[in-house]
Chains A and B, each alone.
Chain A
Amino acid sequence: MSGEIITQPARRAVFLKKSTKKPRNIVERLFEFWFALCAFLSVFITAGIILILISESWPFFQQVSLAEFLTSRDWSPLFSDPHFGIQPLLMGTLLSTFIACGIAVPMGILIACGLSEFVPPHIRQFLKPIIEILAGIPSVIFGYFALLVVTPAIQVLFPELPGFSLLSAGITMSFMILPLIVSLSEDALQSVPRTLREASYALGATPLETVWKVVLPSASSGVMAACILGVSRAIGETMVVALAAGQQPNWTLNPAEPAATMTAYMVQVALGDLPHGSLGYQTVFVVGLTLLLMTLVFNYLALRVRNKMRPL
Protein backbone atom coordinates (compact mmCIF):
# COMPACT_ATOMS: atom_id res chain seq x y z
CA MET A 1 0.00 0.00 0.00
CA SER A 2 2.85 2.40 0.69
CA GLY A 3 3.67 2.35 -3.00
CA GLU A 4 0.44 4.18 -3.68
CA ILE A 5 1.87 7.35 -2.12
CA ILE A 6 3.87 8.02 -5.26
CA THR A 7 1.49 9.24 -7.95
CA GLN A 8 1.17 7.30 -11.17
CA PRO A 9 2.65 9.95 -13.51
CA ALA A 10 5.69 10.26 -11.26
CA ARG A 11 6.24 6.50 -11.27
CA ARG A 12 5.77 6.42 -14.99
CA ALA A 13 8.41 9.13 -15.45
CA VAL A 14 10.94 7.19 -13.38
CA PHE A 15 10.40 4.07 -15.45
CA LEU A 16 10.50 5.82 -18.78
CA LYS A 17 13.80 7.45 -17.95
CA LYS A 18 15.41 4.18 -17.00
CA SER A 19 13.97 1.99 -19.68
CA THR A 20 13.96 4.09 -22.85
CA LYS A 21 17.60 5.06 -22.65
CA LYS A 22 19.05 1.61 -23.19
CA PRO A 23 17.07 -0.85 -25.26
CA ARG A 24 18.57 -4.28 -24.76
CA ASN A 25 19.51 -5.18 -28.32
CA ILE A 26 19.31 -4.29 -31.96
CA VAL A 27 15.92 -6.00 -32.51
CA GLU A 28 14.34 -3.88 -29.81
CA ARG A 29 15.92 -0.80 -31.30
CA LEU A 30 14.51 -1.68 -34.74
CA PHE A 31 11.05 -2.23 -33.33
CA GLU A 32 11.21 1.07 -31.51
CA PHE A 33 12.12 2.78 -34.76
CA TRP A 34 9.23 1.03 -36.54
CA PHE A 35 6.74 2.16 -33.86
CA ALA A 36 7.91 5.75 -34.21
CA LEU A 37 7.72 5.53 -38.00
CA CYS A 38 4.10 4.36 -37.84
CA ALA A 39 3.19 7.20 -35.50
CA PHE A 40 4.78 9.75 -37.83
CA LEU A 41 2.91 8.20 -40.77
CA SER A 42 -0.21 10.06 -39.64
CA VAL A 43 1.61 13.35 -40.18
CA PHE A 44 2.69 12.16 -43.62
CA ILE A 45 -0.95 11.39 -44.50
CA THR A 46 -1.99 14.96 -43.77
CA ALA A 47 1.04 16.34 -45.56
CA GLY A 48 0.34 13.97 -48.48
CA ILE A 49 -3.27 15.10 -48.81
CA ILE A 50 -2.26 18.77 -48.78
CA LEU A 51 0.64 18.25 -51.22
CA ILE A 52 -1.36 16.18 -53.72
CA LEU A 53 -4.27 18.61 -53.68
CA ILE A 54 -2.03 21.65 -54.15
CA SER A 55 0.18 20.11 -56.81
CA GLU A 56 -2.77 18.88 -58.88
CA SER A 57 -4.62 22.18 -58.45
CA TRP A 58 -1.60 24.30 -59.44
CA PRO A 59 -1.96 23.91 -63.23
CA PHE A 60 -5.66 24.75 -62.91
CA PHE A 61 -4.99 28.10 -61.30
CA GLN A 62 -2.55 28.97 -64.05
CA GLN A 63 -5.41 28.78 -66.53
CA VAL A 64 -8.22 30.12 -64.37
CA SER A 65 -7.88 33.24 -62.27
CA LEU A 66 -8.59 33.05 -58.55
CA ALA A 67 -10.99 35.95 -58.99
CA GLU A 68 -13.16 33.99 -61.40
CA PHE A 69 -12.99 30.92 -59.17
CA LEU A 70 -14.28 32.88 -56.18
CA THR A 71 -16.74 35.29 -57.78
CA SER A 72 -18.35 33.51 -60.74
CA ARG A 73 -21.77 32.04 -60.05
CA ASP A 74 -21.36 29.45 -62.79
CA TRP A 75 -19.70 26.04 -62.48
CA SER A 76 -19.60 24.28 -65.86
CA PRO A 77 -16.01 23.06 -66.34
CA LEU A 78 -16.89 20.28 -68.79
CA PHE A 79 -18.93 22.42 -71.20
CA SER A 80 -17.51 23.84 -74.43
CA ASP A 81 -17.85 27.31 -72.90
CA PRO A 82 -16.53 26.50 -69.42
CA HIS A 83 -17.06 28.58 -66.29
CA PHE A 84 -15.19 27.93 -63.06
CA GLY A 85 -17.00 29.55 -60.15
CA ILE A 86 -16.99 27.51 -56.94
CA GLN A 87 -19.98 29.37 -55.45
CA PRO A 88 -22.81 27.07 -56.64
CA LEU A 89 -21.08 23.94 -55.27
CA LEU A 90 -20.24 25.76 -52.05
CA MET A 91 -23.86 26.88 -51.66
CA GLY A 92 -25.07 23.32 -52.19
CA THR A 93 -22.77 22.01 -49.48
CA LEU A 94 -23.62 24.78 -47.03
CA LEU A 95 -27.36 24.56 -47.59
CA SER A 96 -27.57 20.78 -47.20
CA THR A 97 -25.32 20.92 -44.12
CA PHE A 98 -27.47 23.70 -42.67
CA ILE A 99 -30.66 21.65 -43.11
CA ALA A 100 -29.09 18.50 -41.66
CA CYS A 101 -27.69 20.26 -38.60
CA GLY A 102 -30.76 22.48 -38.14
CA ILE A 103 -32.68 19.27 -37.49
CA ALA A 104 -30.07 16.98 -35.94
CA VAL A 105 -28.44 19.33 -33.41
CA PRO A 106 -31.57 20.39 -31.45
CA MET A 107 -33.11 16.91 -31.79
CA GLY A 108 -29.84 15.28 -30.76
CA ILE A 109 -29.41 17.41 -27.64
CA LEU A 110 -33.08 16.93 -26.68
CA ILE A 111 -32.87 13.15 -27.11
CA ALA A 112 -29.53 12.97 -25.28
CA CYS A 113 -31.08 14.85 -22.34
CA GLY A 114 -34.04 12.50 -22.30
CA LEU A 115 -31.84 9.43 -22.54
CA SER A 116 -29.41 10.62 -19.88
CA GLU A 117 -31.84 12.13 -17.35
CA PHE A 118 -35.25 10.49 -17.73
CA VAL A 119 -34.67 6.95 -18.99
CA PRO A 120 -34.10 4.32 -16.27
CA PRO A 121 -30.51 2.98 -16.23
CA HIS A 122 -31.35 -0.58 -17.27
CA ILE A 123 -33.22 0.61 -20.36
CA ARG A 124 -30.42 3.07 -21.14
CA GLN A 125 -27.84 0.29 -21.00
CA PHE A 126 -29.93 -1.57 -23.55
CA LEU A 127 -30.51 1.45 -25.81
CA LYS A 128 -26.96 2.80 -25.84
CA PRO A 129 -25.35 -0.03 -27.89
CA ILE A 130 -28.28 0.11 -30.33
CA ILE A 131 -27.72 3.83 -30.88
CA GLU A 132 -23.99 3.22 -31.33
CA ILE A 133 -24.72 0.57 -33.96
CA LEU A 134 -27.14 2.92 -35.73
CA ALA A 135 -24.35 5.52 -35.86
CA GLY A 136 -22.34 3.01 -37.90
CA ILE A 137 -24.85 2.43 -40.74
CA PRO A 138 -22.94 2.99 -44.03
CA SER A 139 -23.71 6.28 -45.74
CA VAL A 140 -24.54 4.63 -49.07
CA ILE A 141 -27.50 2.96 -47.34
CA PHE A 142 -28.67 6.40 -46.24
CA GLY A 143 -28.34 7.33 -49.92
CA TYR A 144 -30.85 4.56 -50.64
CA PHE A 145 -33.18 5.93 -47.94
CA ALA A 146 -32.91 9.46 -49.32
CA LEU A 147 -33.73 8.41 -52.85
CA LEU A 148 -36.41 5.76 -52.28
CA VAL A 149 -38.01 6.57 -48.91
CA VAL A 150 -37.49 10.17 -47.80
CA THR A 151 -38.03 11.89 -51.16
CA PRO A 152 -41.31 10.03 -51.91
CA ALA A 153 -42.46 10.71 -48.33
CA ILE A 154 -41.87 14.45 -48.69
CA GLN A 155 -43.53 14.37 -52.10
CA VAL A 156 -46.71 13.15 -50.43
CA LEU A 157 -46.78 16.43 -48.48
CA PHE A 158 -45.35 18.69 -51.21
CA PRO A 159 -46.17 17.09 -54.58
CA GLU A 160 -44.21 19.69 -56.54
CA LEU A 161 -40.86 18.66 -54.97
CA PRO A 162 -38.54 17.32 -57.70
CA GLY A 163 -37.00 13.82 -57.50
CA PHE A 164 -33.66 15.29 -56.47
CA SER A 165 -33.45 18.08 -53.91
CA LEU A 166 -31.19 19.50 -51.22
CA LEU A 167 -34.12 19.26 -48.82
CA SER A 168 -34.45 15.47 -48.87
CA ALA A 169 -30.65 15.03 -48.87
CA GLY A 170 -30.41 17.35 -45.86
CA ILE A 171 -33.21 15.60 -43.96
CA THR A 172 -31.66 12.18 -44.61
CA MET A 173 -28.25 13.43 -43.47
CA SER A 174 -29.89 14.61 -40.25
CA PHE A 175 -31.02 10.99 -39.56
CA MET A 176 -27.47 9.90 -40.32
CA ILE A 177 -25.73 12.21 -37.86
CA LEU A 178 -28.45 12.06 -35.18
CA PRO A 179 -27.22 8.81 -33.50
CA LEU A 180 -23.67 10.19 -33.46
CA ILE A 181 -24.70 13.43 -31.74
CA VAL A 182 -27.00 11.59 -29.29
CA SER A 183 -24.39 9.02 -28.34
CA LEU A 184 -21.52 11.48 -27.78
CA SER A 185 -23.70 14.09 -26.03
CA GLU A 186 -25.13 11.44 -23.74
CA ASP A 187 -21.59 10.41 -22.76
CA ALA A 188 -20.86 14.04 -21.88
CA LEU A 189 -24.08 14.41 -19.85
CA GLN A 190 -23.43 11.16 -17.98
CA SER A 191 -19.98 12.34 -16.96
CA VAL A 192 -21.45 15.29 -15.01
CA PRO A 193 -21.11 14.42 -11.32
CA ARG A 194 -24.28 13.31 -9.59
CA THR A 195 -23.74 15.75 -6.74
CA LEU A 196 -24.39 18.70 -9.07
CA ARG A 197 -27.85 17.32 -9.90
CA GLU A 198 -28.59 16.59 -6.26
CA ALA A 199 -27.58 20.11 -5.25
CA SER A 200 -29.85 21.55 -7.92
CA TYR A 201 -32.84 19.45 -6.83
CA ALA A 202 -32.14 20.31 -3.18
CA LEU A 203 -32.54 23.99 -4.08
CA GLY A 204 -35.97 23.22 -5.47
CA ALA A 205 -35.22 23.18 -9.18
CA THR A 206 -37.45 21.16 -11.48
CA PRO A 207 -35.89 18.45 -13.71
CA LEU A 208 -36.05 20.83 -16.68
CA GLU A 209 -34.23 23.57 -14.74
CA THR A 210 -31.66 21.07 -13.52
CA VAL A 211 -30.93 19.83 -17.03
CA TRP A 212 -31.01 23.24 -18.68
CA LYS A 213 -29.18 25.34 -16.10
CA VAL A 214 -26.85 22.85 -14.40
CA VAL A 215 -26.21 19.63 -16.33
CA LEU A 216 -26.03 20.97 -19.90
CA PRO A 217 -23.75 23.92 -19.04
CA SER A 218 -21.41 21.56 -17.15
CA ALA A 219 -21.29 19.20 -20.11
CA SER A 220 -21.14 21.97 -22.70
CA SER A 221 -17.68 21.18 -24.04
CA GLY A 222 -18.56 17.55 -24.72
CA VAL A 223 -21.97 18.37 -26.20
CA MET A 224 -20.39 21.08 -28.35
CA ALA A 225 -17.72 18.66 -29.57
CA ALA A 226 -20.44 16.14 -30.48
CA CYS A 227 -22.34 18.75 -32.51
CA ILE A 228 -19.19 19.95 -34.27
CA LEU A 229 -18.33 16.38 -35.21
CA GLY A 230 -21.86 16.03 -36.59
CA VAL A 231 -21.47 19.18 -38.69
CA SER A 232 -18.13 18.07 -40.10
CA ARG A 233 -19.65 14.70 -41.00
CA ALA A 234 -22.42 16.54 -42.86
CA ILE A 235 -19.98 18.79 -44.76
CA GLY A 236 -17.92 15.83 -45.95
CA GLU A 237 -20.85 13.48 -46.56
CA THR A 238 -20.74 12.23 -50.12
CA MET A 239 -23.05 9.36 -50.98
CA VAL A 240 -26.34 10.84 -49.74
CA VAL A 241 -25.88 14.07 -51.68
CA ALA A 242 -24.46 12.30 -54.73
CA LEU A 243 -27.59 10.14 -54.92
CA ALA A 244 -30.34 12.46 -53.72
CA ALA A 245 -29.34 16.12 -54.18
CA GLY A 246 -28.88 16.07 -57.94
CA GLN A 247 -25.84 16.50 -60.17
CA GLN A 248 -26.48 19.96 -61.63
CA PRO A 249 -24.52 22.85 -60.06
CA ASN A 250 -27.14 25.41 -59.13
CA TRP A 251 -26.69 28.72 -57.28
CA THR A 252 -29.81 28.74 -55.13
CA LEU A 253 -31.06 29.46 -51.65
CA ASN A 254 -34.15 27.34 -52.18
CA PRO A 255 -33.70 23.92 -50.56
CA ALA A 256 -36.50 22.42 -52.68
CA GLU A 257 -34.36 22.69 -55.81
CA PRO A 258 -31.83 20.11 -56.97
CA ALA A 259 -28.22 21.29 -56.63
CA ALA A 260 -24.84 19.55 -56.69
CA THR A 261 -22.54 19.84 -53.68
CA MET A 262 -18.74 19.79 -53.74
CA THR A 263 -18.59 16.11 -52.82
CA ALA A 264 -21.31 15.16 -55.32
CA TYR A 265 -19.33 16.88 -58.09
CA MET A 266 -16.19 14.90 -57.20
CA VAL A 267 -18.08 11.60 -57.35
CA GLN A 268 -19.72 12.56 -60.64
CA VAL A 269 -16.37 13.32 -62.29
CA ALA A 270 -14.66 10.26 -60.76
CA LEU A 271 -17.35 8.04 -62.30
CA GLY A 272 -16.64 9.48 -65.76
CA ASP A 273 -13.52 8.78 -67.77
CA LEU A 274 -11.48 11.95 -67.71
CA PRO A 275 -7.83 11.49 -68.72
CA HIS A 276 -5.15 12.10 -66.10
CA GLY A 277 -3.86 15.68 -66.43
CA SER A 278 -6.84 17.21 -68.25
CA LEU A 279 -8.45 20.36 -66.92
CA GLY A 280 -11.62 18.47 -65.95
CA TYR A 281 -9.53 16.01 -63.94
CA GLN A 282 -7.79 18.88 -62.16
CA THR A 283 -11.10 20.47 -61.15
CA VAL A 284 -11.73 17.47 -58.85
CA PHE A 285 -8.58 18.33 -56.92
CA VAL A 286 -9.46 22.03 -56.89
CA VAL A 287 -12.84 21.25 -55.35
CA GLY A 288 -11.10 18.84 -52.97
CA LEU A 289 -8.70 21.59 -51.92
CA THR A 290 -11.65 23.88 -51.17
CA LEU A 291 -13.28 21.13 -49.09
CA LEU A 292 -9.99 20.53 -47.25
CA LEU A 293 -9.65 24.24 -46.40
CA MET A 294 -13.23 24.28 -45.05
CA THR A 295 -12.54 21.18 -42.98
CA LEU A 296 -9.28 22.56 -41.59
CA VAL A 297 -10.89 25.86 -40.57
CA PHE A 298 -13.69 23.90 -38.98
CA ASN A 299 -11.40 21.53 -37.09
CA TYR A 300 -9.42 24.52 -35.83
CA LEU A 301 -12.62 26.14 -34.53
CA ALA A 302 -13.57 22.87 -32.86
CA LEU A 303 -10.21 22.77 -31.13
CA ARG A 304 -10.60 26.35 -29.93
CA VAL A 305 -14.06 25.62 -28.54
CA ARG A 306 -12.79 22.53 -26.77
CA ASN A 307 -9.86 24.30 -25.19
CA LYS A 308 -11.96 27.26 -24.14
CA MET A 309 -14.74 25.27 -22.51
CA ARG A 310 -12.85 22.82 -20.35
CA PRO A 311 -15.17 20.73 -18.17
CA LEU A 312 -15.36 21.35 -14.41
Chain B
Amino acid sequence: MNLSTNSLGSSVKFRHFLSFIFKILSLLGLLLGLIVLLVLIGDLIRRGGDRLSIDFFTNFASRKADRAGILAAWVGTLWVMLITAVLTIVVGVSAAIYLEEYAPKNRATRLIELNILNLAAMPSILYGLLALGLFVHQMKLGSSLLTAGMTLSLLVLPVVIVASREALRSLPFTLKEASYALGATQFQTLVYHQIPAALSGIMTGVILALSRAIGETAPLITIGALTYIAFLPQSLMDSFTVLPIQLFNWLSRPQEEFHANAAAAGLVLLFLTFLLNGVAILIRIKARKNIKW
Protein backbone atom coordinates (compact mmCIF):
# COMPACT_ATOMS: atom_id res chain seq x y z
CA MET B 1 0.00 0.00 0.00
CA ASN B 2 2.71 2.32 1.09
CA LEU B 3 4.76 1.28 -1.90
CA SER B 4 1.99 1.95 -4.41
CA THR B 5 1.13 5.45 -3.16
CA ASN B 6 4.80 6.17 -3.15
CA SER B 7 5.27 5.08 -6.75
CA LEU B 8 2.11 6.93 -7.74
CA GLY B 9 3.45 10.05 -6.05
CA SER B 10 6.78 9.84 -7.81
CA SER B 11 5.11 9.20 -11.17
CA VAL B 12 2.90 12.26 -10.75
CA LYS B 13 5.98 14.23 -9.84
CA PHE B 14 7.76 12.82 -12.86
CA ARG B 15 4.84 13.71 -15.16
CA HIS B 16 4.81 17.25 -13.86
CA PHE B 17 8.58 17.41 -14.25
CA LEU B 18 8.23 16.33 -17.91
CA SER B 19 5.52 18.91 -18.37
CA PHE B 20 7.73 21.58 -16.85
CA ILE B 21 10.60 20.63 -19.19
CA PHE B 22 8.23 20.88 -22.17
CA LYS B 23 7.01 24.29 -21.08
CA ILE B 24 10.56 25.60 -20.68
CA LEU B 25 11.60 24.09 -24.03
CA SER B 26 8.69 25.62 -25.93
CA LEU B 27 9.26 29.06 -24.42
CA LEU B 28 13.01 28.78 -25.09
CA GLY B 29 12.18 27.85 -28.68
CA LEU B 30 10.03 30.95 -29.04
CA LEU B 31 12.78 33.11 -27.54
CA LEU B 32 15.44 31.49 -29.73
CA GLY B 33 13.38 32.03 -32.87
CA LEU B 34 12.87 35.71 -32.09
CA ILE B 35 16.55 36.19 -31.16
CA VAL B 36 17.76 34.56 -34.41
CA LEU B 37 15.56 36.84 -36.48
CA LEU B 38 16.70 39.87 -34.47
CA VAL B 39 20.35 38.90 -35.03
CA LEU B 40 19.72 38.59 -38.76
CA ILE B 41 18.09 42.02 -38.96
CA GLY B 42 20.85 43.41 -36.74
CA ASP B 43 23.43 42.20 -39.25
CA LEU B 44 21.55 44.00 -42.02
CA ILE B 45 21.70 47.24 -40.03
CA ARG B 46 25.37 46.79 -39.05
CA ARG B 47 26.49 46.21 -42.63
CA GLY B 48 24.16 48.52 -44.50
CA GLY B 49 23.31 51.29 -42.04
CA ASP B 50 26.25 53.48 -43.08
CA ARG B 51 25.34 53.36 -46.74
CA LEU B 52 21.92 54.91 -46.18
CA SER B 53 22.23 58.54 -47.22
CA ILE B 54 20.45 60.94 -49.54
CA ASP B 55 22.92 60.03 -52.30
CA PHE B 56 21.99 56.37 -52.01
CA PHE B 57 18.41 57.25 -52.96
CA THR B 58 19.27 59.72 -55.73
CA ASN B 59 22.07 57.83 -57.54
CA PHE B 60 21.66 55.26 -60.27
CA ALA B 61 23.42 51.90 -59.99
CA SER B 62 27.11 52.15 -60.74
CA ARG B 63 30.21 50.03 -61.24
CA LYS B 64 31.76 51.78 -58.26
CA ALA B 65 30.13 50.47 -55.10
CA ASP B 66 30.39 53.69 -53.08
CA ARG B 67 28.69 55.75 -55.78
CA ALA B 68 25.94 53.27 -56.58
CA GLY B 69 22.39 54.05 -55.50
CA ILE B 70 18.87 52.75 -55.80
CA LEU B 71 17.13 55.55 -57.71
CA ALA B 72 16.02 53.39 -60.65
CA ALA B 73 15.14 50.56 -58.26
CA TRP B 74 12.85 52.45 -55.90
CA VAL B 75 11.14 54.38 -58.70
CA GLY B 76 10.65 51.07 -60.54
CA THR B 77 9.25 49.45 -57.39
CA LEU B 78 6.83 52.35 -56.97
CA TRP B 79 5.59 52.02 -60.57
CA VAL B 80 5.22 48.25 -60.40
CA MET B 81 3.37 48.47 -57.08
CA LEU B 82 1.00 51.08 -58.52
CA ILE B 83 0.13 48.91 -61.54
CA THR B 84 -0.18 45.82 -59.37
CA ALA B 85 -2.44 47.62 -56.89
CA VAL B 86 -4.83 48.89 -59.59
CA LEU B 87 -5.09 45.53 -61.37
CA THR B 88 -5.37 43.57 -58.13
CA ILE B 89 -8.13 45.75 -56.70
CA VAL B 90 -10.18 45.75 -59.91
CA VAL B 91 -9.90 42.04 -60.63
CA GLY B 92 -9.49 40.58 -57.14
CA VAL B 93 -12.37 42.41 -55.47
CA SER B 94 -14.66 41.68 -58.45
CA ALA B 95 -13.87 37.99 -58.25
CA ALA B 96 -14.51 38.01 -54.51
CA ILE B 97 -17.88 39.74 -55.05
CA TYR B 98 -18.92 37.14 -57.60
CA LEU B 99 -17.91 34.19 -55.44
CA GLU B 100 -19.47 35.59 -52.27
CA GLU B 101 -22.65 37.19 -53.61
CA TYR B 102 -23.57 35.92 -57.06
CA ALA B 103 -22.06 32.47 -57.56
CA PRO B 104 -24.58 29.63 -57.58
CA LYS B 105 -23.66 26.60 -55.48
CA ASN B 106 -22.58 24.27 -58.27
CA ARG B 107 -19.55 22.40 -59.56
CA ALA B 108 -18.17 25.39 -61.46
CA THR B 109 -18.07 27.48 -58.29
CA ARG B 110 -16.51 24.61 -56.38
CA LEU B 111 -13.89 24.33 -59.11
CA ILE B 112 -13.02 28.03 -58.85
CA GLU B 113 -12.70 27.79 -55.08
CA LEU B 114 -10.45 24.74 -55.24
CA ASN B 115 -8.43 26.42 -57.95
CA ILE B 116 -7.83 29.52 -55.84
CA LEU B 117 -6.59 27.34 -52.97
CA ASN B 118 -4.28 25.63 -55.44
CA LEU B 119 -2.99 28.93 -56.88
CA ALA B 120 -2.18 30.24 -53.42
CA ALA B 121 0.25 27.36 -52.93
CA MET B 122 1.88 27.62 -56.38
CA PRO B 123 5.61 28.56 -56.43
CA SER B 124 6.02 32.16 -57.54
CA ILE B 125 8.57 31.32 -60.22
CA LEU B 126 5.88 29.43 -62.16
CA TYR B 127 3.94 32.68 -62.50
CA GLY B 128 7.15 34.08 -63.96
CA LEU B 129 7.23 31.30 -66.56
CA LEU B 130 3.57 31.94 -67.44
CA ALA B 131 4.36 35.61 -67.91
CA LEU B 132 7.47 34.83 -69.96
CA GLY B 133 5.52 32.57 -72.31
CA LEU B 134 2.27 34.54 -72.45
CA PHE B 135 2.98 38.26 -71.86
CA VAL B 136 6.57 38.55 -73.09
CA HIS B 137 6.53 36.28 -76.14
CA GLN B 138 2.89 35.69 -77.18
CA MET B 139 1.53 39.17 -76.47
CA LYS B 140 4.86 40.86 -77.31
CA LEU B 141 4.77 43.13 -74.27
CA GLY B 142 8.48 42.61 -73.59
CA SER B 143 10.12 42.92 -70.17
CA SER B 144 8.11 46.03 -69.43
CA LEU B 145 6.56 47.61 -66.35
CA LEU B 146 3.16 46.46 -67.57
CA THR B 147 4.30 42.82 -67.79
CA ALA B 148 5.75 43.04 -64.27
CA GLY B 149 2.57 44.58 -62.83
CA MET B 150 0.37 41.98 -64.51
CA THR B 151 2.60 39.11 -63.34
CA LEU B 152 2.63 40.26 -59.73
CA SER B 153 -1.10 40.91 -59.65
CA LEU B 154 -1.79 37.37 -60.89
CA LEU B 155 0.53 36.17 -58.14
CA VAL B 156 -1.26 37.98 -55.29
CA LEU B 157 -4.80 37.54 -56.62
CA PRO B 158 -5.63 34.61 -54.28
CA VAL B 159 -4.63 36.70 -51.22
CA VAL B 160 -6.98 39.54 -52.17
CA ILE B 161 -9.84 37.24 -53.17
CA VAL B 162 -9.73 35.31 -49.89
CA ALA B 163 -9.44 38.47 -47.74
CA SER B 164 -12.22 40.33 -49.59
CA ARG B 165 -14.54 37.34 -49.38
CA GLU B 166 -13.97 37.13 -45.65
CA ALA B 167 -14.64 40.85 -45.28
CA LEU B 168 -17.93 40.56 -47.22
CA ARG B 169 -18.95 37.44 -45.32
CA SER B 170 -18.38 39.01 -41.92
CA LEU B 171 -21.02 41.71 -42.55
CA PRO B 172 -24.27 41.16 -40.65
CA PHE B 173 -27.12 39.90 -42.78
CA THR B 174 -29.40 42.65 -41.47
CA LEU B 175 -27.43 45.18 -43.53
CA LYS B 176 -28.53 43.45 -46.73
CA GLU B 177 -32.08 42.92 -45.48
CA ALA B 178 -32.50 46.58 -44.66
CA SER B 179 -31.31 47.60 -48.11
CA TYR B 180 -33.52 45.07 -49.88
CA ALA B 181 -36.47 46.13 -47.76
CA LEU B 182 -36.06 49.66 -49.08
CA GLY B 183 -36.28 48.34 -52.62
CA ALA B 184 -32.61 48.33 -53.61
CA THR B 185 -31.40 45.76 -56.11
CA GLN B 186 -28.61 43.38 -55.25
CA PHE B 187 -26.13 45.53 -57.18
CA GLN B 188 -27.20 48.74 -55.43
CA THR B 189 -26.91 46.99 -52.08
CA LEU B 190 -23.40 45.95 -52.99
CA VAL B 191 -22.23 49.35 -54.16
CA TYR B 192 -23.89 51.51 -51.51
CA HIS B 193 -23.77 49.28 -48.44
CA GLN B 194 -21.76 46.07 -48.55
CA ILE B 195 -18.58 47.34 -50.22
CA PRO B 196 -18.31 50.51 -48.09
CA ALA B 197 -18.93 48.48 -44.95
CA ALA B 198 -16.35 45.84 -45.92
CA LEU B 199 -13.83 48.39 -47.18
CA SER B 200 -11.44 48.15 -44.24
CA GLY B 201 -11.26 44.37 -44.56
CA ILE B 202 -10.76 44.62 -48.31
CA MET B 203 -8.03 47.26 -47.92
CA THR B 204 -6.22 45.12 -45.35
CA GLY B 205 -6.18 42.27 -47.86
CA VAL B 206 -4.94 44.50 -50.68
CA ILE B 207 -2.13 45.98 -48.57
CA LEU B 208 -1.02 42.54 -47.36
CA ALA B 209 -1.01 41.39 -50.99
CA LEU B 210 1.16 44.37 -51.95
CA SER B 211 3.55 43.65 -49.09
CA ARG B 212 4.02 40.21 -50.62
CA ALA B 213 4.38 41.57 -54.15
CA ILE B 214 6.97 44.18 -53.21
CA GLY B 215 9.53 41.54 -52.19
CA GLU B 216 8.97 39.10 -55.04
CA THR B 217 12.12 38.60 -57.07
CA ALA B 218 12.00 35.28 -58.88
CA PRO B 219 9.07 35.94 -61.26
CA LEU B 220 10.54 39.31 -62.28
CA ILE B 221 13.95 37.79 -62.99
CA THR B 222 12.20 35.17 -65.11
CA ILE B 223 10.46 37.76 -67.28
CA GLY B 224 13.85 39.37 -67.85
CA ALA B 225 13.83 42.54 -65.74
CA LEU B 226 17.15 44.30 -66.20
CA THR B 227 19.55 44.73 -63.33
CA TYR B 228 21.39 47.78 -64.63
CA ILE B 229 19.25 50.75 -65.61
CA ALA B 230 20.43 54.34 -65.84
CA PHE B 231 17.14 56.04 -66.66
CA LEU B 232 13.73 56.39 -65.09
CA PRO B 233 10.77 54.69 -66.78
CA GLN B 234 8.53 57.11 -68.72
CA SER B 235 5.74 54.80 -69.86
CA LEU B 236 4.19 51.43 -69.10
CA MET B 237 6.20 49.79 -71.88
CA ASP B 238 9.64 50.83 -70.58
CA SER B 239 12.06 48.34 -69.13
CA PHE B 240 12.69 48.65 -65.43
CA THR B 241 14.40 47.31 -62.33
CA VAL B 242 13.03 46.93 -58.81
CA LEU B 243 14.55 46.91 -55.33
CA PRO B 244 14.69 43.12 -54.82
CA ILE B 245 16.38 42.63 -58.21
CA GLN B 246 18.95 45.35 -57.47
CA LEU B 247 19.54 43.67 -54.10
CA PHE B 248 19.98 40.27 -55.75
CA ASN B 249 22.39 41.74 -58.29
CA TRP B 250 24.61 43.36 -55.64
CA LEU B 251 24.48 40.22 -53.53
CA SER B 252 25.65 37.95 -56.33
CA ARG B 253 28.83 39.99 -56.81
CA PRO B 254 31.91 38.80 -54.90
CA GLN B 255 33.10 42.24 -53.64
CA GLU B 256 32.47 43.16 -50.01
CA GLU B 257 31.56 46.78 -50.85
CA PHE B 258 28.60 45.69 -52.95
CA HIS B 259 27.40 43.53 -50.07
CA ALA B 260 27.13 46.72 -47.99
CA ASN B 261 24.97 48.20 -50.75
CA ALA B 262 22.88 45.01 -50.76
CA ALA B 263 22.38 45.33 -47.01
CA ALA B 264 21.29 48.96 -47.35
CA ALA B 265 18.84 48.08 -50.14
CA GLY B 266 17.64 45.21 -47.96
CA LEU B 267 16.96 47.66 -45.13
CA VAL B 268 14.88 49.86 -47.44
CA LEU B 269 12.95 46.83 -48.70
CA LEU B 270 12.43 45.52 -45.18
CA PHE B 271 11.22 48.93 -44.02
CA LEU B 272 8.69 49.11 -46.87
CA THR B 273 7.43 45.58 -46.10
CA PHE B 274 7.06 46.33 -42.40
CA LEU B 275 5.40 49.64 -43.19
CA LEU B 276 2.77 47.99 -45.39
CA ASN B 277 2.16 45.27 -42.81
CA GLY B 278 1.94 47.85 -40.04
CA VAL B 279 -0.62 49.90 -41.97
CA ALA B 280 -2.70 46.75 -42.55
CA ILE B 281 -2.63 45.90 -38.84
CA LEU B 282 -3.56 49.49 -37.90
CA ILE B 283 -6.53 49.48 -40.29
CA ARG B 284 -7.68 46.19 -38.79
CA ILE B 285 -7.44 47.44 -35.22
CA LYS B 286 -9.15 50.75 -36.07
CA ALA B 287 -11.97 49.03 -37.93
CA ARG B 288 -12.54 46.73 -34.98
CA LYS B 289 -12.81 49.69 -32.63
CA ASN B 290 -15.10 51.81 -34.80
CA ILE B 291 -17.68 49.33 -35.98
CA LYS B 292 -19.82 47.55 -33.45
CA TRP B 293 -22.51 45.63 -35.26
Contact = CB atoms under 8 A, between A and B. Distances in A.
Interface of A: 8, 11-12, 15, 19-20, 23-24, 28, 31-32, 34-43, 45-46, 48-49, 52-53, 55-56, 107, 110-111, 113-115, 117-119, 127, 129-130, 132-134, 136-141, 143-145, 147-149, 175, 178-179, 182, 206-209, 211, 229, 232, 235-239, 242-243, 263, 266-267, 270-271, 276, 284-285, 288, 291-292, 295-296, 298-299, 302-303
A144 B44 contact: yes
Interface residues of B, number: 91
B115 A114 contact: no
B126 A291 contact: yes
Given A38-B98, A141-B269, 14 more contacts: A11-B177, A24-B188, A28-B185, A35-B97, A35-B102, A48-B134, A52-B133, A114-B23, A136-B215, A141-B215, A144-B266, A209-B15, A242-B248, A263-B123
Contacts of A113: 22, 26
A225 to B, nearest CB: 10
Contact of B218 (A145, A263, A276): A263
B247 A144 contact: yes
A15 B18 CA distance: 57
Contacts of B269: 138, 140-141
A52 B134 contact: yes
Given A38-B95, A288-B125, A144 B251 contact: yes
Interface stretch (B61-69, B154-162, B228-236): B154-162
11 contacts: A117-B26, A133-B277, A136-B215, A139-B217, A139-B218, A140-B244, A141-B270, A145-B40, A206-B19, A207-B19, A303-B117
A274 to B, nearest CB: 11
Contacts of A42: 95, 112, 115-116, 119, 157-158, 161
A133 B274 contact: yes
A266 B251 CA distance: 18
Interface of B: 15-16, 18-19, 22-23, 25-27, 29-30, 33-34, 36-37, 39-40, 43-44, 47, 90-92, 94-95, 97-99, 102-103, 111-112, 114-119, 121-130, 132-134, 137, 154, 157-158, 161, 173, 176-177, 180, 185-188, 208, 211-212, 214-218, 221-222, 224, 244, 247-248, 251-252, 259, 262-263, 266, 269-270, 273-274, 277-278, 281
B18 A208 contact: yes
B27 A114 contact: yes
Contacts of B176: 15
B259 A284 contact: no
Contacts of A133: 273-274, 277-278, 281
